[in-house]
């Protein structure tokens, strides 16, 4: 992925296995978030391809990629701060369900989604679909909040939640899209040590409970080492190492570029 003359990610070639928890680490500016942005369709790579479940998704738009089952959280929390916790999770499903309904209806009357010329007609189909499904959307949102222990906060404004719970709510939103692959960009950022250790257990639980695959960027090495089954290490846009946590902790290149000398002592 080039931005003008800057090669942000170069020759990156890897995969995520179904059901695994994969970590992506490396110094600031190494290209980690750019990898996420390419996978989720925020950027079209200047070279190369991205496949998901065997499908080439390289040129797809972000909402199509979400539709196919890839969902993400952001380094800087992106909730609707003025909406309630429940509404935040409902809105995450709204677009998808409404679009599916509209597409189904338009197919039934013999027009594909690009053939409908009347904008207001299309809008009203969307609205009808939404009303019909509202209870379903609400129930599903509640059930996700309950699983994540956030249901008591359902009617609170997102902005009133402590930071750690806002991060959790972001994960709830991502799960509400029926994601198969969850991309988490620094889920432990801003958490204290006890919160981040709880997060490790929670992400493992989420993987099993929701049967998702997890790909995460994280700077907190305790979280990364305690959570990930495999780790990729980037430096200056290039993949410099790949392996199990114990291998990564002992890897000289990784210690030099990122982990620092203290890790070689921990690893010994
Ligand atoms: N839209 C963009 N336009 C220009 N340069 C960009 C853009 N996005 C990222 N970059 C550059 O690409 C490089 C990789 O950035 P990226 O955000 O992917 O790094 P990172 O590993 O996620 O860093 P951090 O750990 O600080 O989040 C950096 O030099 C960054 O400035």
Nearest to 77 by CA among 88, 90, 68: 88
Domain ranges, residue 246: 2-81+158-267
Nearest alpha carbon, ligand 1 atom 31: 29
**CB-CB neighbours of 117 under 10 Å:** 8
**Are 60 and 176 in the same domain?**
yes
Which SS3 state, helix, strand or coil, does residue 265 take?
Answer: helix
**Are 58 and 167 in the same domain?**
yes
Where is pLDDT greater, at 95 or 26?
A: 26
* Per-residue pLDDT band at 93 (split at 50, 70, 90): confident
For ligand 1, is residue 205 a contact (CB within 6 Å)?
Answer: no
**Are 49 and 127 in the same domain?**
no
**Are 173 and 237 in the same domain?**
yes
| Residue written as token pair 């969307």 | 126
Overall pTM surpassing 0.80 (yes/no): yes
**Are 249 and 172 in the same domain?**
yes
**Are 73 and 94 in the same domain?**
no
What's the CATH number where 207 sits? 3.40.50.300
- Contact (CB, 8 A) for 185 and 78: no
**Are 148 and 113 in the same domain?**
yes
Q: How far apart are CA 2 and CA 138, in angstroms?
A: 42
**Are 174 and 147 in the same domain?**
no
**Are 95 and 74 in the same domain?**
no
**Are 136 and 203 in the same domain?**
no
For ligand 1, is residue 33 a contact (CB within 6 Å)?
Answer: yes
Average pLDDT over residues 251-267: 76
Q: What is the pLDDT of residues 43-84, one digit of tens each?
A: 999 999 999 999 999 989 888 898 899 999 887 777 888 888
The CA-atom distances, in angstroms, between 163 and each of 160, 179, 190 are: 9, 23, 7
- Contact (CB, 8 A) for 81 and 157: yes
Nearest alpha carbon, ligand 1 atom 16: 31
| Residue written as token pair 């925020």 | 42
How many domains, the chain?
Answer: 2
Q: How far apart are CA 145 and CA 158, in angstroms?
A: 13
**Are 60 and 165 in the same domain?**
yes
């Amino acid at each position: 992925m080039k931005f003008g003359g800057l090669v942000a990610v170069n020759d990156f070639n890897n995969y995520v296995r179904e059901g695994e928890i994969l970590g992506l680490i490396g110094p600031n500016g190494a290209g980690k978030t750019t990898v996420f942005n390419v996978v989720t369709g925020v950027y079209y790579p200047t070279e190369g391809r991205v496949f998901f479940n065997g499908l080439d998704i390289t040129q797809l738009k972000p909402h199509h990629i979400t539709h196919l089952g890839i969902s993400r959280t952001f380094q800087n929390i992106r909730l609707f701060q003025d909406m309630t916790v429940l509404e935040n999770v409902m809105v995450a499903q709204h677009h998808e369900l409404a679009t599916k309904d509209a597409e189904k209806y338009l197919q039934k009357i013999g027009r594909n989604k690009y053939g409908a010329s009347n904008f207001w007609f299309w809008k009203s189909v969307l609205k009808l679909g939404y009303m019909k499904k509202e209870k379903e959307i609400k129930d599903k949102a509640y059930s996700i909040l309950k699983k994540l222990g956030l249901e008591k906060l359902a009617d609170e404004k997102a902005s009133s939640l402590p930071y750690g719970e806002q991060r959790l709510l972001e994960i709830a939103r991502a799960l509400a899209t029926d994601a198969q692959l969850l991309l988490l960009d620094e889920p432990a950022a801003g958490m204290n040590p006890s919160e981040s250790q709880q997060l490790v257990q929670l992400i493992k639980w989420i993987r099993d409970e929701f049967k998702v695959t997890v790909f995460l960027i994280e700077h907190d090495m305790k979280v990364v080492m305690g959570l990930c089954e495999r780790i990729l290490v980037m430096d200056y846009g290039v993949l410099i190492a790949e392996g199990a946590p114990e291998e990564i902790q002992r890897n000289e290149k990784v210690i030099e570029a990122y982990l620092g000398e203290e890790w070689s002592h921990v690893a010994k």
